[in-house]
Amino acid sequence: MGGNRDRLSRVVLKKDIKRRVLNGHPWIYDNEIERIEGDLEDGSLVDVFTFAGQFIGRGYINRLSKITIRLLTRKPEEIDTNFWKRRVIEALKNRYQLVKENAFRVLFGEADGVPGLIVDKFSDYLVLQVNTLGIYKRLESILPALLETLNPSGVFVIMEGSSIQKEGLEEQKYWIYGSGPELIPYEVNGIKFLADLKGQKTGAFLDQRENAKMLSQFAHGRVCLDCFSYTGNFGMHLLKHGAKHVTFVDYSERALAVAREVAKLNGFTNCDFVVANAFDFLKKLYGESKLFDLIVLDPPSFAKSAANRESAYKGYKEINYRSMKLLRNDGILATSSCTQVISQQEFENILVDAGTDARVVMRILHRGGQPLDHPQIYNILETMYLKFLILQISHL
């Protein structure tokens, strides 16, 4: 044992630190640090203290990042394979019955006490999103913890996106353990899917699984449009539950090629796939007076920071307004927002605004959100991002 507490550099915070840190939030920004004692390498572990000398926690540091320290624990415990194992076991416990599913998110970064690391399980394979230098440097001790607890056939690492450059890392994707197919078959709600390792994020978005299941009950006999479909999660659920037809729209050709494969795997033929910018496509349909019984909107985040709120607001209003206009009377609109800086209330205000302009009455059929494997922690607001509503739209 020995404990590595004595060997770690100490970081002392400024006098007037934010309650946020004391209340369980794991991030320490560069301007909250009074001094760093001793020499250290970025990516290494540090112990963090208040100005008065009270121990706050242990985490990893990267002076290249505005979020300079991410705390891994509030205890002076060793950050070794056993630590990561305890984190995985705790996360599995917090997922309750979800762990019986064929695919789920095993670790969701800050929300599971593992800042910078996301782990998804697709049948026998694990896909890791490594977002920070501190996690990258610890992969050697993290990997055995995952192998021992989950026994996968292969583990794939994805390092990409703007955060990777901010951390001073190179973008890369590779099998760190074993190997597997580029398209990993998995199942959700009795439907076959493919996680595309060359695709976006970790190959599939597991956060909409319950929302898609809830939407399934409105599928029967309906002509549907799945906008921002990616590999087809929502639309496949609709087809499985008796939709008359589904049009999948995404501007990524690759995403729709995979969606085609997924439809084939499930034997769905009453569907078509349109590579298009959804904004333009919705506008075009309106010009053609084409109507639908059900429309799904699941766009990417429209704003990474509060500074882009305004344009996000405009974007949401436009696609929701156009979709309302494209629905038959009493049609169904399933609409989502994964923009973290837009709150539930703000998103609903946008919908009300769009509905007023479109001259419709909106009945809330369902308010959804994040499933158990995308935990939401009040003390870490950044963990709460997904809004989902199913609305019945009636024209005035």
Which residues are identified as catalytic?
A: 338
Among 279, 328, 365, 392, binds ligand SAH (CB under 6 A): 279
Q: How far is the CB of 199 from ligand SAH (least distance, A)?
A: 8
Site residue total, ligand SAH (CB under 6 A) = 18
Report residue 292: phi and psi, to 5°.
-125, 160
Tell me if 230 contacts ligand SAH by CB under 6 A. Answer: yes
Q: How far is the CB of 252 from ligand SAH (least distance, A)?
A: 4
Question: Which positions from 298 through 327 interact with ligand SAH, judged by CB under 6 A?
Answer: 298-300
Q: How far is the CB of 207 from ligand SAH (least distance, A)?
A: 8
**How many other β-carbons are positioned within 10 Å of the β-carbon of residue 257?**
14
- Strand 125-130 versus strand 117-122 pairing type: antiparallel
Distances (CA, A) of 369 to 73, 77, 121, 179, 366: 27, 34, 20, 33, 10
CA 391 to chain centre: 23
Tell me if 277 contacts ligand SAH by CB under 6 A. Answer: yes
Q: How far is the CB of 305 from ligand SAH (least distance, A)?
A: 18
**Element housing 352 (H / E):** helix 344-358
Among 4, 44, 82, 252, binds ligand SAH (CB under 6 A): 252
Q: By C-beta, is 71 or 215 nearer to ligand SAH? A: 215
Q: Which residues pair with 130 in a beta bridge?
A: 117
DSSP 308: G
Q: How far is the CB of 357 from ligand SAH (least distance, A)?
A: 21
Tell me if 233 contacts ligand SAH by CB under 6 A. Answer: yes
Tell me if 250 contacts ligand SAH by CB under 6 A. Answer: yes
Q: Which amino acid is at 179?
A: S
Tell me if 255 contacts ligand SAH by CB under 6 A. Answer: yes
Q: How far apart are CA 275 and CA 281, in angstroms?
A: 9
Buried b / exposed e along 56-83 (16+ C-beta atoms within 10 A): bbbbbbbeebebbbbbbbeeeebbebeb
Among 84, 136, 228, 313, binds ligand SAH (CB under 6 A): 228
Tell me if 238 contacts ligand SAH by CB under 6 A. Answer: no
Q: Using CB under 6 A as the criterion, which residues of the chain lie in contact with ligand SAH when the complex forms?
A: 200, 205, 208, 228-230, 233-234, 250-252, 255, 277-279, 298-300
